[in-house]
Amino acid sequence: MILVTGATGTVGSALLPILAERGASVRALAHSQAGRAAIEAHGAEAVDGDFDRPETLERAMAGCDRVFLLSPASPAQAGRERRAIDIAGQAGVAHVVALSVMGASHDSPMGFARWHAEIDDHLAAAGVGHTILRPAGFMQSHLLPVDTVRAEGAWYGMTGDGASGFIDAADIAAVAAHVLTTDGHEGATYEVTGPESISMPQAAAQLSEVIGGDVRYVDVPADGFRANLAGAGLPDWLADSLVALYGAIRAGHAATVTNEVEKATGRPARPYRQFAENHRDAFAAA
């Protein structure tokens, strides 16, 4: 039995159908009533659970041999996932597959990269079988400013011509499904990216072609960009982390591309154009 946490989120909701296709026995943590229905629609067993209520994790992990560990980025993340790893060890789980982030490091200026480094170290030392997946930025994050893109035909950013190996969350899910259902990944860390390194102006150009409209990438100074994020209600830790991340992309430090998706699935990772085509309607009014 595989326990999937984060099952109703961006990666988890793509993972459940792949595991179902593979005939895996899956239990998934439901954080809400709506989540239960989404989980059961994929033929998985839904179990109520909350990372902040350890007893629910104990119940959810009982009888599971593998766990997919994912929780949302937050200052509480490291504490939550460290505890979940300990509970997995006590429950006799054989293998934990943890979703981390590319660039996870204790001295990163990005909060989420420091929290993932803490979680990854804890997992490596926990005495439980494990595999760590470190994805690049999700293409799906580009859906967040879609209202502005639709209203203004403008996409504001601060990455200049810096490129990044953005990955479709469906490909992260495909790699996770492979690792969860095959052997030979013990102790491995996989850096998972899309097939190409692409800049925001290039992404905007591809979106323009796909929707037959004009999406202009507008580069703004870091201070103004951060003020916009704060104005949109993002907490300080997230605004600061994103500014640090986009600064790193701008400086060319996030352009790495790997072939882990192809190694795991036997086909190349989905290119940005395919993501744009799959989400044409979301951007279409631009």
> CB of residue 18 vs ligand NAP: minimum separation in angstroms?
14
Per rule CB under 6 A, is residue 44 in the interface with ligand NAP? no
Per rule CB under 6 A, is residue 135 in the interface with ligand NAP? yes
Alpha-helical segments (H) within 91-235: 111-125, 146-152, 169-181, 200-211, 222-231
> Cβ atoms within 10 A of the Cβ of 245, count?
22
Per rule CB under 6 A, is residue 7 in the interface with ligand NAP? yes
Per rule CB under 6 A, is residue 118 in the interface with ligand NAP? no
> CB of residue 4 vs ligand NAP: minimum separation in angstroms?
9
> CB of residue 73 vs ligand NAP: minimum separation in angstroms?
4
Per rule CB under 6 A, is residue 137 in the interface with ligand NAP? yes
Angle at 58 between CA 20 and CA 47, to 5 degrees: 40
Options 4, 6, 197, 283; binder of ligand NAP; rule CB under 6 A: 6
Going by C-beta distance under 8 Å and a sequence separation of 6 or more, which residues neighbour residue 257? 165, 193, 194, 195, 196, 197
> CB of residue 205 vs ligand NAP: minimum separation in angstroms?
21
Per rule CB under 6 A, is residue 52 in the interface with ligand NAP? yes
Dist. CA 250–CA 275, nearest whole Å: 22
Number of residues lying near ligand NAP (CB under 6 A): 26
Among the listed ranges 4-12, 195-203, 210-218, 278-286, the one in contact with ligand NAP (CB under 6 A) is 4-12
Q: Which residue is nearest to ligand NAP (CB)?
A: 9
Q: Which tokens go with 24?
A: 């895996």
Options 71, 193, 208, 241; binder of ligand NAP; rule CB under 6 A: 71
Dist. CA 12–CA 17, nearest whole Å: 9
Instruction: Confirm if 156 and 257 have CB atoms less than 8 A apart.
Output: no
User: Which pairs from 226-230 meet CB under 8 Å and 24+ separation?
Assistant: 228/156
Dist. CA 74–CA 78, nearest whole Å: 8
Options 21, 32, 125, 161; binder of ligand NAP; rule CB under 6 A: 32
Q: How is 120-152 classified by DSSP, letter by letter?
A: HHHHHHTTSEEEEEEE--BGGGGGTTHHHHHHH
The 139-158 contact track toward ligand NAP, x by CB under 6 A, reads --x-----------------
Options 2, 3, 4, 10; binder of ligand NAP; rule CB under 6 A: 10
> CB of residue 214 vs ligand NAP: minimum separation in angstroms?
26
Q: Which tokens go with 277?
A: 């085509």
Tell me which residues touch ligand NAP (CB under 6 A): 6-12, 29, 31-32, 35, 49-52, 70-73, 99, 101, 112, 135, 137-138, 141
